[in-house]
A and B are shown apart, each in its own frame.
Chain A
């Protein structure tokens, strides 16, 4: 049974929606710059330059919630445009997030610690589950609502679970992806791990020092044949492969040979029923940390051997959007399929010595892109891969 994509929505530091994102991707314009508020001012981040209230106003949001939820609502609304809630189609939402409503909680908890106007009612936005409920309320989805929280692989896992629910006949149509906002909590957390780059990140480069954080949201609408017959929507892509595997090496570091990554990519290919040679582009996880990029490169080499397809990380455009990354990058993958594109791996100069792999460095279009592999690897050794294919 095929799983079709009939909608997609994205918001990130490079733009809102298809047109803005494509323009930035084509022009090589990164959204990463020095942060402009108290939380981000000491870092290079891929921030969305609108306050929460501006987001609510600009995108006419009815439900209020945490910033993570607001970003999610914007992307989900985009994806669901032209769809309708319909009794005949069981419709669900699975959203990945690592931050949840922490953007509100950390402000409130500070007031608590300083004894300064603490409002406990604000914590109702805190849990990751509450974030998804807020997004679901905005578009009126009630049949199935779930949150997956596996750090940076969350959105990819949400996409995978949605596909499986369709295949298992448990849902007809499902909105899947992820969202995360920038917070002091995560910025401080990555700072404590000493894996932030003070400059602009350099994925797959020998001199890479770490990542730049970003925020955003990306979602797909998946439908079964049965749902298509009722909704009448045109598929824009097929979600043909997916997989999740555990690296089981260390809580935060990936195994040097990329064991978990290798399993997840191989399994995704198997689910899609295609060979490595069928992949036209890999949108890598490519966070630009010394550890991930080496590990991922080794895994790619072991599968694709001498025929490594064009690959790049788009995180030097958007920053690392944590739980949202799999969703945002799935949308970029679909845009690549629809428009025959290859995205450059910005800020690359020298290949990693141990692997010699050179990513795609130019934007190209009018190509025949039929299958795109997208990787998302999270803390806890959680490795996920999805494959999107042209209709």
Chain B
């Protein structure tokens, strides 16, 4: 059991500092903008000026998570599939079109995938373990796996999250994402995890990733069986659109991509929705089914325990 002690999400939903994102979910449209906090509250101007959307999301959300628990993180783990796309595009365009013999370095420096994690460690003045996992649609799931290992190894408070940003050109680079029913988007969610139980008692109970998944229903059943559970005991299934779970029975289902929009880190926000749902409705179990990409499957079981 890995208890969620704080969460911060910046998304196209009104999610930042919202105690119940589940209640206020609104379907995303092409026109939906990111709903961002006042970044100046978190990030000094000399840093903020350089930061692209995904960097702002990662840094502000992490600072918020830390402020809520008032403790130092013993590990900082970030998932991102495509990293800092804006800076990558900017630098690439510059080098392919410039005639100048000198090049502006800022976009290059910001373009490495672990800039998010690096900025978080700088912003929090944190010297602990700092990792960036970039396994496409399972970036968040692998980051969670790493976070779980950290906690099992004795680390007390672990920051884990995932973020991705869109650029217009992404439609050309990843046409597979565009074939979803929902628009491309940006967003990030960060969590503080700990073995120590807290008042809300909501935890990540189990995690499963498959890089060669079998039939979806069987994968889900088998995963739950491993936790001594049956599908009918699940209160809310959060799934990602591309495949349908056929044997839903009477279980409440929610297509989370409808609210996150399409980006590879969306399952992180789905966990946020699950958390708020269990807390507000006083329910027991929610499962996040991340099968947004064929050939990859992530299953996250979120549970509420009595305090």
| A–B interface present (Cβ within 8 A) | yes
B113-A128 in contact (CB<8A): yes
A66 at the interface (CB under 8 A from B): no
- In whole angstroms, what is the CA distance A252 to B129 when docked? 18
A188-B95 in contact (CB<8A): yes
Name the distance in Å between A251's Cβ and chain B's nearest Cβ: 6
B142-A380 in contact (CB<8A): no
B127-A263 in contact (CB<8A): yes
B108-A380 in contact (CB<8A): no
Residues of A close to B261: CB separation below 8 A: none
Q: Which of A103-155 contact B (CB under 8 A)?
A: 105-106, 109-110, 112-113, 120, 123, 126-130, 132-133, 136, 142-151
- Partner of B135 from A98, A120, A146, A188 at Cβ < 8 Å: A146
Known contacts A168-B152, A188-B108; is-contact A120 B131 (Cβ 8 Å): no
Interface residues on B, range: 35 or more
- In whole angstroms, what is the CA distance A168 to B102 when docked? 48
Known contacts A248-B122, A251-B122; is-contact A165 B149 (Cβ 8 Å): yes
Name the distance in Å between B95's Cβ and chain A's nearest Cβ: 4
- Partner of A123 from B83, B97, B173 at Cβ < 8 Å: B173
Residues of A close to B127: CB separation below 8 A: 245-248, 259-260, 263
- In whole angstroms, what is the CA distance A250 to B114 when docked? 13
B173-A380 in contact (CB<8A): no
Known contacts A123-B174, A244-B131; is-contact A150 B91 (Cβ 8 Å): no
Spot the interface stretch: A189-197, A220-228, A303-311, A354-362. Answer: A189-197
Residues of A close to B96: CB separation below 8 A: 106, 109-110, 113, 184
Residues of A close to B91: CB separation below 8 A: 185, 188-189
Closest to A98 in B: B112
B104-A143 in contact (CB<8A): no
Known contacts A129-B81, A161-B146; is-contact A150 B104 (Cβ 8 Å): no
A129-B172 in contact (CB<8A): no
> Among the interface residues A120, A147, A191, A252, which one has the most CB atoms of the partner chain B within 10 A?
A147
Name the distance in Å between B4's Cβ and chain A's nearest Cβ: 21
B118-A380 in contact (CB<8A): yes
Residues of A close to B104: CB separation below 8 A: 192
Known contacts A146-B142, A184-B95, A246-B130; is-contact A251 B118 (Cβ 8 Å): yes
B109-A136 in contact (CB<8A): no
Closest to A195 in B: B105
A157 at the interface (CB under 8 A from B): yes
- In whole angstroms, what is the CA distance A165 to B209 when docked? 14
- In whole angstroms, what is the CA distance A251 to B118 when docked? 7
Name the distance in Å between A96's Cβ and chain B's nearest Cβ: 10
Closest to B211 in A: A145
> Among the interface residues A144, A184, A250, A260, which one has the most CB atoms of the partner chain B within 10 A?
A144
Residues of B close to A252: CB separation below 8 A: 109
- In whole angstroms, what is the CA distance A144 to B146 when docked? 13
- In whole angstroms, what is the CA distance A180 to B98 when docked? 25
Known contacts A120-B173, A123-B172; is-contact A188 B149 (Cβ 8 Å): no
Residues of A close to B212: CB separation below 8 A: 142
Residues of A close to B135: CB separation below 8 A: 129, 132, 145-147
- In whole angstroms, what is the CA distance A169 to B130 when docked? 22
Closest to B94 in A: A188
B136 at the interface (CB under 8 A from A): yes
Name the distance in Å between B101's Cβ and chain A's nearest Cβ: 9
Closest to B209 in A: A144
Closest to A97 in B: B134
A109-B112 in contact (CB<8A): no
B81-A251 in contact (CB<8A): no
- Partner of B132 from A113, A150, A189, A193 at Cβ < 8 Å: A150
Extra 17 A-B pairs, beta carbons < 8 Å, given A98-B113, A129-B135, A246-B128: A123-B172, A123-B174, A130-B136, A147-B133, A151-B112, A151-B114, A168-B152, A185-B108, A193-B105, A244-B129, A244-B130, A245-B129, A248-B124, A378-B114, A380-B112, A380-B130, A381-B122
- 21 of the cross-chain contacts (CB-CB < 8 Å) are A106-B92, A109-B92, A123-B173, A127-B136, A128-B134, A129-B134, A129-B135, A132-B135, A144-B209, A149-B114, A150-B132, A151-B112, A161-B146, A184-B95, A185-B95, A192-B104, A193-B105, A246-B76, A378-B112, A380-B119, A381-B121
9 closest A-B pairs by beta carbon, nearest first, are A380-B118, A129-B136, A192-B103, A189-B108, A149-B113, A192-B105, A142-B212, A246-B121, A123-B173
